[in-house]
Amino acid sequence: MKIGILGAGQLARMLAEAGIPAGHEFVFLDPAESPSAARLGHHLRAPWQDADALQVLANCDRITCDFENVPAEVLALLSESVTVRPSARAFEVAQDRWIEKQQFEALGLATPAYRAVESRPELIEAVEALALPAVLKTRRMGYDGKGQFVIHQFEDLELAWQQLGGKPLILEQWVDFDHEAAITAVRSCDGDIRYYPLSTTCHRGGILRLARAGQGQSQLQQAAEHAMHKLMDELDYIGCMTLELFVVGDTLMANEFAPRAHNSAHWTIEAVPSSQFDNHLRAVCDWPLGNTALNGHALMVNFIGHMPEPERWLRIPGLHWHDYNKSARPGRKVGHATLTAPDAPTLNQRMADLQPLLDHDLRSMMQNLP
Amino acid sequence: MKIGILGAGQLARMLAEAGIPAGHEFVFLDPAESPSAARLGHHLRAPWQDADALQVLANCDRITCDFENVPAEVLALLSESVTVRPSARAFEVAQDRWIEKQQFEALGLATPAYRAVESRPELIEAVEALALPAVLKTRRMGYDGKGQFVIHQFEDLELAWQQLGGKPLILEQWVDFDHEAAITAVRSCDGDIRYYPLSTTCHRGGILRLARAGQGQSQLQQAAEHAMHKLMDELDYIGCMTLELFVVGDTLMANEFAPRAHNSAHWTIEAVPSSQFDNHLRAVCDWPLGNTALNGHALMVNFIGHMPEPERWLRIPGLHWHDYNKSARPGRKVGHATLTAPDAPTLNQRMADLQPLLDHDLRSMMQNLP
């Protein structure tokens, strides 16, 4: 099929990497000059609302997205002439943290306490209601820790307001989690859902650094699948979705969801028969869903800012290399590596072999993984 | 790295599919208008000797090939300015069946008896020496059963000569094999060799139809690895190579080798941590070689002539779909599917589920696999 993707970043790139072997062709709309996916299909370099570009996309067999902040009106317009998956509805919910939290509540999913904030007095009122520390976030357009401010004490309030005030905001209760986790699932147009195993995730400065899969407890997995089931059915969702979670003891709290492929599930490319990218395309194209069972154990390491030299990394057995062909820039996700192993002791040994190649911060994060 | 490939067929396409995630870029030289790999890189549509095209290739970091009949002088010319892997030597041997057989003999590898044939009297003499049935083949440019004639009785001789005479030929003794097999291995520039497990192969009309891996006997595997080791070291080979074999009882006879990725090892894409395409590029780029151990069992089915509809196939768990985006044409390889399973009983069950989707001929071939 000819598949149009709004956005041509690394997620679009990995969608194309999964879809080209199966014979799909790709068209990307992205205003960037030379985005990561551009060489894997026809790159329309234009603003999101560009009429000529949208006309080209309207002639595709399917439309999907590689990021959640696609303008809703663009999706609505395209929906008139081509099948758009997932539908605009999921984006509307995911694009606004306040609506998203309300959706979680409506479905009975535990989520941190929150308050909408539009003014200084509302911020003070919200802080008094939720107590500190708390996290002030823009309701819209936040990602990778952007648009967030952790308020530790009352004196931080003014700085937080200066940085984020003027836009619709949300204050969220600070959750003293044991660790973070994420679950990815895929839903087909006839409501079939397949769940990937939970991964344990580790962030720094709001950016995902590590994700490990294969250590999951069946009780948490069940709870996560239950939450996903409710959310996907409610949104009549088609494609892959990731729900980010806080793990507190043996309970889960829903943090946010992404209506697209997600960084925390990149290890599915090598460690699962049908990766999140493969299954997203299967769902989008009305193909039967593929197997999501994990073969063994996996760890994913993000490369932030620049790519390391591959030779030393590739000497470690089970190491898979992903370079998004993006130019180096501080804080930018430019690639990742996935380490696979048939069992936990072997993965632990390979992680130990990896340690000398990591910076201090990443090394300590890896050592502290649950 | 920027990798130039001579040829842009499905093997080049699958090399690019393996190399793009790792950040490599591809340039293809192929005189065809719209070959299978063209969209995955920069396609130079030109004759093999075209000076401008060769100039572009000379600026790549590495050169490799997707077929063995690349003109030797093109490889020699490129070698003056860029690293070409495997080297011209392996191609010179593989391009001529008579030289290839002499190479096998020189290394002490069992191979069917053969005679060079340049004239009618030489053909009669060769038939008398080797007895019938025997196979008359062109020494050069044969593939997928092209340029071959099986002589069953003395009366076929004239027809065989009419079809193939005038070119340098070779007559090969007919081998009454139990089945055919193939081994693929990869050798790095420092002589490290990794072997994939043997696959059982099944041909019709000279074209590979099925390949199954995971049933290997350790004695045959050892013998095959021994043969590959000798051949690769002798040629100081860098990259992936496949040796096609006849299995007769518990012995092997070398049939022919291919100095490139090979159809009989396509199942390595899903069933092995590092596929033949991934490992070929690792060797070509001086990267450390990857793991070649088979996870479970695998069966590959070639699609010849046209692609079937994917939906019914993809309902079978562990089914992976490959469509080369080639137009339908009788006898043309247009795609393949690989069926993977954790163990032999599961693979057998999935093969049984596949049976109703196969034509009569393929079904009986699958039932008769050893």
Instruction: Note whether B61 contacts A: Cβ–Cβ < 8 A.
Output: no
Instruction: Note whether A308 contacts B: Cβ–Cβ < 8 A.
Output: no
Q: What is the DSSP letter of B330?
A: T
**Residue-wise pLDDT tens digits, A277-331:** 999 999 999 999 999 999 899 999 999 999 999 999 999 999 999 999 999 999 9
What tokens does A320 get? 């898979």
Indicate the SS3 state at residue B88: helix
Instruction: Note whether B249 contacts A: Cβ–Cβ < 8 A.
Output: no
A146: pLDDT strictly greater than 90: no
Chosen for mutation from B3, B26, B39 (greatest number of chain A CBs closer than 10 Å) is: B39
**A23 touches A2 (CB < 8 A):** no
Q: In Å, how far is B3's CA from the nearest CA of chain A?
A: 15
| DSSP β-bridge partners for residue B181 | B200, B245
Q: How far apart are CA B16 and CA B9, in angstroms?
A: 11
- β-pairing, B62-65 vs A251-258, is unpaired
Residues of B in contact with A41 (CB under 8 A): 39
- Interface contact B321-A25, CB threshold 8 A: no
Rounded to the nearest integer, the mean pLDDT of chain B is 95
Tell me how far CA of residue A125 lies from CA of A147, A149, A154, A368, in angstroms: 21, 17, 12, 37
In degrees and rounded to multiples of 5, residue A210 shows phi and psi of -135, 150
Residues of A in contact with B286 (CB under 8 A): 311
Instruction: Report the 3 state secondary structure along A144-178.
Output: CCCCEEEECCHHHHHHHHHHHCCCCEEEEECCCCC
- Of B344, B337, B341, B338, nearest to B215 (Cα)? B344
Q: What is the largest CA-CA distance in chain B?
A: 58
Residues of A in contact with B318 (CB under 8 A): 273, 291
Tell me how far CA of residue B300 lies from CA of A289, B117, B208, in angstroms: 20, 36, 10
- Interface contact A25-B310, CB threshold 8 A: no
A133: pLDDT strictly greater than 90: yes
**B69 touches B95 (CB < 8 A):** yes
**A179 touches A212 (CB < 8 A):** no
- Interface contact B310-A22, CB threshold 8 A: yes
* Closest by Cβ to A325, choosing from B23, B273, B287: B23
B11: pLDDT strictly greater than 90: yes
* Closest by Cβ to A317, choosing from B269, B270, B291: B291
- Interface contact B335-A287, CB threshold 8 A: no
- Interface contact A325-B290, CB threshold 8 A: no
Q: In Å, how far is B314's CA from the nearest CA of chain A?
A: 6
Closest chain A CA to residue B319: A290
DSSP A79-132: HTTSEESS-HHHHHHHT-HHHHHHHHHHTT-----EEEE-SHHHHHHHHHHH-S
Calculate what percentage of chain B has a pLDDT beyond 90. 89
Q: Is the dihedral of CA A126, A128, A131, A132 positive or negative?
A: positive
Model confidence band, residue B144 (pLDDT cutoffs 50, 70, 90) = low
The CATH 3.40.50.20 portion of chain B extends over 2-84
User: CA angle, B169 as apex, B162 and B106 as ends, to 5°?
Assistant: 165
Residues of B in contact with A324 (CB under 8 A): 23
What tokens does A360 get? 């201090």
Q: What is the DSSP letter of A38?
A: G
**B28 touches B43 (CB < 8 A):** yes
More confident residue, A88 or A107: A107
- β-pairing, B2-6 vs B62-65, is parallel
CATH architecture, domain defined by B113-173: 2-Layer Sandwich (3.30)
CATH topology of domain B2-84: Rossmann fold (3.40.50)
Instruction: Note whether B291 contacts A: Cβ–Cβ < 8 A.
Output: yes
Q: How far apart are CA B197 and CA B267, in angstroms?
A: 11
Q: Render the burial of A170-191: b for 16+ CB within 10 Å, e for the rest.
A: bbbbbbebeebbbbbbbbbeee
Q: Render the burial of B333-360: b for 16+ CB within 10 Å, e for the rest.
A: bbbbbbbbbeeeebbeebbeebeebbee
Model confidence band, residue B274 (pLDDT cutoffs 50, 70, 90) = very high
Q: How far apart are CA A145 and CA A263, in angstroms?
A: 14
Residues of B in contact with A291 (CB under 8 A): 317-318
Indicate the SS3 state at residue B260: coil
- Interface contact B311-A288, CB threshold 8 A: yes
**A183 touches A247 (CB < 8 A):** no
**Residue-wise pLDDT tens digits, A185-230:** 999 999 999 999 999 999 998 899 999 998 777 899 999 999 999 9
Ranges A82-96, A130-144, B119-133: which has the least confidence: A130-144
**Residue-wise pLDDT tens digits, B77-110:** 999 999 999 988 999 999 999 999 999 999 999 9
Instruction: Note whether B280 contacts A: Cβ–Cβ < 8 A.
Output: no
**Superfamily of the domain at A179-367:** ATP-grasp fold, B domain (3.30.470.20)
> What is the CB-side half-sphere exposure of residue A356 using CA atoms within 13 A?
7
**B171 touches B126 (CB < 8 A):** yes
Model confidence band, residue A144 (pLDDT cutoffs 50, 70, 90) = low
Q: What is the mean pLDDT of residues A122-149?
A: 88
Residue B354, sorted as left (phi over 0), alpha (psi -120 to 50) or beta, turns out to be alpha
Residues of B in contact with A323 (CB under 8 A): 21-23
The distance of Cα B250 from the centroid of its chain, to the nearest Å, equals: 23
Tell me how far CA of residue B15 lies from CA of B22, B40, B71, B281, in angstroms: 11, 10, 21, 7
**Residue-wise pLDDT tens digits, B178-221:** 999 999 999 999 999 999 999 999 999 889 999 999 877 789 99
More confident residue, A368 or B225: B225
- What is chain B's length? 370
- Interface contact B287-A311, CB threshold 8 A: yes
Q: In Å, how far is A333's CA from the nearest CA of chain B?
A: 14
Write down the pLDDT at residue B322: 98
Q: What DSSP element (H or E) covers A137?
A: strand A134-138
H helices of chain B, in order, are: 10-19, 51-58, 72-79, 88-94, 97-106, 120-130, 157-164, 218-235, 268-271, 276-284, 310-314, 344-354, 360-367
B147: pLDDT strictly greater than 90: no
Q: How far apart are CA A282 and CA A233, in angstroms?
A: 18
Instruction: Note whether A307 contacts B: Cβ–Cβ < 8 A.
Output: yes
Contacts of A15 (CB under 8 A, 6+ apart): A3, A5, A26, A37, A64, A66, A261, A277, A280, A281
Q: How far apart are CA B335 and CA B28, in angstroms?
A: 20
pTM as predicted:
0.95
Instruction: Note whether A295 contacts B: Cβ–Cβ < 8 A.
Output: yes
Chosen for mutation from A189, A266, A287 (greatest number of chain B CBs closer than 10 Å) is: A287
The CATH 3.30.470.20 portion of chain A extends over 179-367
Q: How far apart are CA B200 and CA B247, in angstroms?
A: 9
In degrees and rounded to multiples of 5, residue B329 shows phi and psi of -165, 135
Q: How far apart are CA A5 and CA A67, in angstroms?
A: 10
A145: pLDDT strictly greater than 80: no
The CATH 3.30.1490.20 portion of chain B extends over 113-173
Q: What DSSP element (H or E) covers A57?
A: helix A51-58
- Of A194, A190, A213, nearest to A202 (Cα)? A213
**B251 touches B110 (CB < 8 A):** yes
Calculate what percentage of chain A has a pLDDT beyond 70. 99
* Closest by Cβ to A40, choosing from B20, B23, B270: B20
- Of A285, A342, A303, nearest to A36 (Cα)? A303
Inter-chain Cβ pairs, chain A and chain B, closer than 8 A = 83
